[in-house]
Structure 1
Amino acid sequence: MSTGGLLVLAGGGHSHALVLKRWAMKPEQRPKQSIVLVNRTSTALYSGMVPGLIAGIYSPDELAIDLRQLCDRAGVAFLEAEITGLTPQQNCLRLRDRPELHFAWLSLDVGAVSRPSATGIPIKPLEASLAFLKSEEASDPRPLRVIGAGAAGLEVVLALRRRWPQRALQLQQRSGQLDPALQQVLQRARIAVVNDDSHHSGPSLLCTGSQGPAWLATAGLPLDPDSRIRTDRCLRVEGHPSLFASGDCAVISAAPRPASGVWAVRAGRPLATNLEAACQGQPLRPWQPQRQALQLIGSHEDAAWARWGSWRLGPSPLIWRLKQRIDRAFMAGFQRPTTMPDAAPMACRGCAAKLPAQPLGAALERVGVGGQPEDAARLPGNQELLQSMDGFPALVSDPWLNGRLTALHACSDLWACGAEVSSAMATITLPMIPANDQQELLVQTLAGLRSVLNEQGAELIGGHTMESRSAAPVPASLGVQVTLTVNGSSSKPPWLKSGLRPGDALLISRPLGTGVLFAGAMSGATKAPDLDAALRGMECSQHTLLQQVEPVRKDIHACTDITGFGLLGHLGEMLQNKPGLTIHLDGLAIPAYAGALELFERGVSSTLAPSNRTAWRWLAGPVQLEQHPSAALLELLVDPQTCGPLLLACSSEAAAQLTQNGPWLQIGSAAAAHG
């Protein structure tokens, strides 16, 4: 059996999270193959604390496992994508709006969904049910009904009582399902118990059991009646030696257990052991899960009870404190260890890997190509055609997303000239890894590039590939480097950086802060929701802004895109050879991505920031801040940006129109210098 090829972890369930934790703590145990985790979100909620989240005891951050950060620590690439299907015969995992992934080994931990029903919001997937509960009001006179009186339904309805002390609540049971002791608990909590045959037209939450995701039914895998994947005791899918499955989506045929977070957690170690063995061509080890699982169920008060089969103890405040201690210890195990104080900072990626302005300018001057820099060059002999080139080391470990971000960043130079992109050529350097893995990286990267060009009606017309001669990083996808030559045209005179005039308003198209957010991510300081929000902004193409500004195009005098040198550095380029101009900046109006200023306050910054700080000299001359700047604002002004905003200089009339209808924000203005 082959020991090479890509290992794909499909889903970010508890078993896979523990596998990643193991490899982060003991990297020598990680298989040598390229490894990818695919999940539809960058975080996974720890199920043991979900009732506490519903009750309002915990914040979402307290039970969210940061999968992207965990993958970074484990040397595993992370792909945020939705899985839509599986073709095991071709070893192919299908993803929404992306090329399929071809694998040598696949491990499935994709969770479960609630069984379909004509009524009620399913409790799983959790994102939809938590959003539903967030939309519900405590003062709503209608009773909210939880359908299903098993352990999950019982814990959810008691959590809701804690969330809404006065709202009418109901728990729907099968006739005689709840014993008298549980009914007394519910009575004390003022929760009405109703039977299955009772009518209900109000809001309801469905907790009647779960099944595997719908796409599993079409994959041709062996499934039990609940659409859970059947495996042997080694967690290998029956009849499919290169596939493994664990967690709520799987069941061991010889030792069936109900879907539960307890068994998903217990499966983490045997799954890791067998994945490691399979990738090395070694024998697998069977696992015998325990017959019973201890369940700790919280009540509507500071108490909980313990259940082991038919045995029950509590509710008791001591058991509640024990449950909280266990849950918090589990989550603490996923926190990044504190970095040693003398550890050298890792070099930033993306546009933060740009050469600093001083050595770049000096080198250009020495070979006689200095002067006023522009974002794109007009081609000699045809002033309507423009060309630019850009690229950087992989910013993220997802090759499709990295291709998309690189293309957006490169196209931005043409957008800043008011030109439409027509075509591009790519030079892609791949790491030294097996040929099949290189092919997979190339397919994903090219598809990411094309996703941007297709949106603009542009074409990828050619390029080159090369193989690096340096050792491949871990994960190998971080060794991909893309350089893109972008071609475009404009029938009207292009915007130049040098066209700034007195009276112009300065507008910015999106927030700043990508440099510090990615710098913080390398040390675990950036919060997952903050990085997610920044990536959503960066992924959006700004080519649509050209159409938006077309009615006021004649009133736009200068434009640039803010990239590696930061806002102040690129503003300095606009002011170059403009001794008669002063810029007034409104520091309070400069937008920043969530979390960026907080990171600056904690002393986090990009590795390019120290050289960019030379641009602060502009603040002692032609750039004046209207307020006394905070240290965080000063750092934001020189933070290097990948897929950064456009910076536009236009008449005040055009500014009024653009700021009313679009994403543009006015952050300052230009005036004639006094004296």
Structure 2
Amino acid sequence: MNPAGPLLLAGGGHSHALILKRWAMDPTRRPARPVLLINRCSSALYSGMVPALIAGIDPPEAAAINLRSLCDRAGVGFVQAEITGLDPGQRCLLLAERPPLRFGLISLDVGAISRPSAEGIAIKPLEPALAFIASEDPNSTNPFTVVGAGAAAMEVVLALRRRWPHRPLRLQTRSNGPGPLERRILLEALIDLVTTPEPTGGPWLLCTGSRAPIWLAASGLPVDGDGRLRTNAQLQVEGNEHIFASGDCAVMAAAPRPASGVWAVRAAIPLAWNLEASCLDRPLRPWRPQRQALQLIGDQQGRAWARWGRWQLGPSGWLWQWKRRIDRRFMAGFRSSEPMTASEPMACRGCAAKLPAQPLAAALEQAGLTGAPEDAARIEGDPPLLQSVDGFPALVSDPWLNGRLTTLHACSDLWACGVRVDSAQAIVTLPVLEAAEQQELLVQTLCGVRSVLEEQQAQLIGGHTLESRSEPPHCPSLGVQLSLCVNGRSAAPWSKGGIAHGDVLLLSRPLGTGVLFAAAMAGACQPEALDTVLQHMSRSQHRLLDQLEPHRQAIHACTDVTGFGLLGHLGEMLASSSPLRITLWTNRIPAYPEAMDRLAQGYASSLAPANRRSWQWLDGLIQLDDSPSQALLELLVDPQTCGPLLLACTETTAQTLTAEGPWIPIGNATADHG
């Protein structure tokens, strides 16, 4: 019987991608336990379209499977992290720069890497190899050499010929490597064939076979000579019934097959069935793969040839068209058949889940809690204690990252006061799950919290846990709710009010988190754009206080831009300052990549409609120096999670801070003469 605990899908290879597609199409098949996919990138390249990507025929997004979006549709958590090892005895997956993930069951589809060599750049991992190719001069007279004897080397060098029509190209291979057909195709493409083993001049790209990641063999699991995990017919690693493996990192001991995307695709359904059966303690089914597979190899010039063992056909145009149809159909299967539209908003998470400003203000007034809002409460002492409370429903399905983001967001209230955080307490509400699964969610969440506090030499000094009484979501990690009380001390904290005539307004990072997460929920955000946003959001801004400390007296007001958007929080600053007029420089308002495009298409956070009340400031004390687009108006009220600091300082200080970075000047203040 399999123990309780999450099911981890380690790696975003073709087998796992197809399993996610299966669960997205039929959620009843997904195991009734937490499932997490762990991959170093938020997208995975489909190997069948990599040559066309290298050739420049297809854009990168055409060959990329959006793993984050696919996980969302499948009800599976997504963790973007580098896998560094596996401890079978402790049942935990080791990750770089974060705590290990424990599991009840695990499936490994982590791909392969090129065999190490003292010369050249390896084709695997693909991402650095593609960056290397992109950096090369297409018009160079320096020959570029592809090394390898298999179909991959042929496809890559022919793709490079399409990409670089005039650059000298060479294929270095064994003397008995290419057959007559391949030699003729190389000759027609003006690619030199080199069969001597001696190194040639110029850059090299190695397509010389692959091996599994070294950490698999280091785990003590049974592997073959190439470090691939040995499995039985049920795709379980030999001697380890709770560990499954598929794709290029594994080999079926009784029916070995070459490392190929073909076998990873074919293994997906047998692997899915056995993972589902294992979670239900049902008998597993053996898989009997066919001995050979048809290969379609394209020359990237409109022709392809077919290979089945020693039999070959082509090259011909119709085989090329057939291959292209197969590849496009495969990729189309990963796109949602029922995409959401901009007119179908979902309730947003993170700080966009906060109560709108109007009912909040009305409720506080009725409760007798009036006064100018500040980012942190001041408790008298020597020095005074500054305290703030913040939290929200899980923004992302990675519990460690969610713990980190929520803590960064909560700490930002104190940073906006110029105060360093020295301690915090946390309240964690967990979904109703098995005890082992709740424990793992709590461990990951608290480790994410501590990762932020330890960077600041602050402590987590206490907290409280609760169990939700609501039905857990399909992805249980999205059922975690975290709130924090953060503390710090300062004799002279900054306030929101105090903007002075002549001050310059500075932002510490771009805007657009709200719309990008809303677009991502609708399947309308490229994974690279969301990656960029998360990289900024997960970076602590506490080090900015070191930069600002020498200018403390020249900083007249500061806040952080969060749920009410730039206009809402700037309005709060103005309401607490002497009569002023703010001019915002339209072309200087920074936005994350894709944010303006998505706003122009009508995507918006579910809190944005309420925030639009802040546009009324533009009819009075806040002016724009140029006519704004509708997208810019929406950006000004876009709710931010882990948003920028917004400060007002003297012009001289603004020049210094802008030169040092990362500060962006967005406007200035002048006296309001009424």
TM-score, normalized by length of structure 2?
A: 0.98
Alignment match, 1:141:
141
Matched, 1:521 2:520: yes
Q: Call closer, same or farther: CA 1:289–1:343 in 2, change over 3 Å.
A: farther
Query: Over residues 331-360 of structure 1, what are the superposed CA-to-partner deviations in whole Å (9 max), with x where a residue is unaligned?
Result: 110012234779963210000000111111
Query: Over residues 105-131 of structure 1, what are the superposed CA-to-partner deviations in whole Å (9 max), with x where a residue is unaligned?
Result: 000000000111221211101011111
Determine if contact 1:189/1:300 at 8 Å carries over to the other structure: no
RMSD (Å) for aligned C-alpha atoms: 1.3
Alignment match, 1:306:
306
- After TM superposition, the structure 1 = structure 2 runs for residues 628-647 of structure 1, keeping only pairs within 5 Å, are 628-647=627-646
Alignment match, 1:503:
502
The CA deviation at 1:181 is 2.4
Structure 1 counterpart of 2:334, one-letter code: F
Alignment match, 2:276:
276
Alignment match, 2:454:
454
- After TM superposition, the structure 1 = structure 2 runs for residues 72-83 of structure 1, keeping only pairs within 5 Å, are 72-83=72-83
- After TM superposition, the structure 1 = structure 2 runs for residues 492-571 of structure 1, keeping only pairs within 5 Å, are 493-571=492-570
Structure 1 counterpart of 2:441, one-letter code: L
Alignment match, 1:243:
243
Give, in whole Å, the separation in 2 of the partners of 1:298 and 1:339: 32
- After TM superposition, the structure 1 = structure 2 runs for residues 97-116 of structure 1, keeping only pairs within 5 Å, are 97-116=97-116
Structure 2 counterpart of 1:117, one-letter code: S
Q: Call closer, same or farther: CA 1:340–1:530 in 2, change over 3 Å.
A: closer
The CA deviation at 1:198 is 2.7
Alignment match, 1:47:
47
Alignment match, 1:13:
13
Determine if contact 2:551/2:653 at 8 Å carries over to the other structure: yes
Q: Which deviates further from its counterpart, 364-373 or 401-410?
A: 364-373
Alignment match, 1:37:
37
Secondary structure of the 2:487 match is strand
Q: Call closer, same or farther: CA 1:423–1:577 in 2, change over 3 Å.
A: closer
Determine if contact 2:393/2:480 at 8 Å carries over to the other structure: yes
Give, in whole Å, the separation in 2 of the partners of 1:342 and 1:406: 27
Alignment match, 2:291:
291
Secondary structure of the 2:99 match is coil
Secondary structure of the 2:385 match is strand
Alignment match, 1:602:
601
Secondary structure of the 1:290 match is coil
The CA deviation at 1:287 is 1.0
Matched, 1:419 2:409: no
Q: Call closer, same or farther: CA 1:343–1:645 in 2, change over 3 Å.
A: closer
Alignment match, 1:258:
258
Secondary structure of the 1:421 match is coil
The CA deviation at 1:4 is 3.1
Give, in whole Å, the separation in 2 of the partners of 1:369 and 1:343: 37
Alignment match, 2:127:
127
- After TM superposition, the structure 1 = structure 2 runs for residues 156-555 of structure 1, keeping only pairs within 5 Å, are 156-339=156-339, 345-491=345-491, 493-555=492-554
The CA deviation at 1:578 is 4.2
The CA deviation at 1:226 is 1.1
The CA deviation at 1:489 is 1.9
Structure 2 counterpart of 1:278, one-letter code: S
The CA deviation at 1:290 is 1.4
Q: Call closer, same or farther: CA 1:548–1:340 in 2, change over 3 Å.
A: closer
Query: Over residues 196-220 of structure 1, what are the superposed CA-to-partner deviations in whole Å (9 max), with x where a residue is unaligned?
Result: 4233242101111111101011111
Alignment match, 1:659:
658
Structure 2 counterpart of 1:67, one-letter code: L
Give, in whole Å, the separation in 2 of the partners of 1:81 and 1:268: 23
Secondary structure of the 1:230 match is strand
Query: Over residues 132-151 of structure 1, what are the superposed CA-to-partner deviations in whole Å (9 max), with x where a residue is unaligned?
Result: 11111112222111111210
Alignment match, 2:151:
151
Secondary structure of the 1:570 match is helix
Secondary structure of the 1:267 match is helix
Determine if contact 2:145/2:205 at 8 Å carries over to the other structure: yes
Give, in whole Å, the separation in 2 of the partners of 1:580 and 1:172: 75
Unaligned runs of 5+ in 1: none
Give, in whole Å, the separation in 1 of the partners of 2:454 and 2:564: 29
Structure 2 counterpart of 1:268, one-letter code: A
Structure 1 counterpart of 2:182, one-letter code: L
Structure 1 counterpart of 2:268, one-letter code: G
Q: Call closer, same or farther: CA 1:667–1:342 in 2, change over 3 Å.
A: closer
The CA deviation at 1:83 is 0.7
Q: Call closer, same or farther: CA 1:300–1:458 in 2, change over 3 Å.
A: same
Secondary structure of the 2:216 match is helix
Matched, 1:591 2:590: yes
Secondary structure of the 1:571 match is helix
Q: Call closer, same or farther: CA 1:609–1:342 in 2, change over 3 Å.
A: closer
Q: Which deviates further from its counterpart, 199-208 or 68-77?
A: 199-208
Secondary structure of the 2:146 match is strand
Determine if contact 2:342/2:603 at 8 Å carries over to the other structure: no
Determine if contact 2:511/2:635 at 8 Å carries over to the other structure: yes
The CA deviation at 1:36 is 0.6
Give, in whole Å, the separation in 2 of the partners of 1:584 and 1:442: 46
Q: Call closer, same or farther: CA 1:481–1:254 in 2, change over 3 Å.
A: same
Q: Which deviates further from its counterpart, 579-588 or 612-621?
A: 579-588
Alignment match, 1:93:
93
Give, in whole Å, the separation in 1 of the partners of 2:330 and 2:3: 33
Give, in whole Å, the separation in 2 of the partners of 1:342 and 1:652: 41
Give, in whole Å, the separation in 1 of the partners of 2:298 and 2:283: 42
Secondary structure of the 1:37 match is strand
Give, in whole Å, the separation in 2 of the partners of 1:577 and 1:180: 82
Give, in whole Å, the separation in 1 of the partners of 2:279 and 2:609: 44
The CA deviation at 1:602 is 1.1
Structure 2 counterpart of 1:277, one-letter code: A
Give, in whole Å, the separation in 2 of the partners of 1:307 and 1:603: 48
Give, in whole Å, the separation in 2 of the partners of 1:339 and 1:401: 27
Determine if contact 2:425/2:463 at 8 Å carries over to the other structure: yes
The CA deviation at 1:627 is 1.0
Determine if contact 1:3/1:280 at 8 Å carries over to the other structure: no
Identity over aligned pairs, percent: 63
Give, in whole Å, the separation in 2 of the partners of 1:356 and 1:154: 59
Number of residue-to-residue matches in the alignment:
674
Secondary structure of the 2:422 match is strand
Alignment match, 1:612:
611
Give, in whole Å, the separation in 2 of the partners of 1:517 and 1:341: 14
Structure 2 counterpart of 1:533, one-letter code: T
Secondary structure of the 2:391 match is strand
Determine if contact 2:340/2:522 at 8 Å carries over to the other structure: no
Secondary structure of the 2:409 match is helix
Alignment match, 2:626:
627
TM-score, normalized by length of structure 1?
A: 0.98
The CA deviation at 1:383 is 4.5
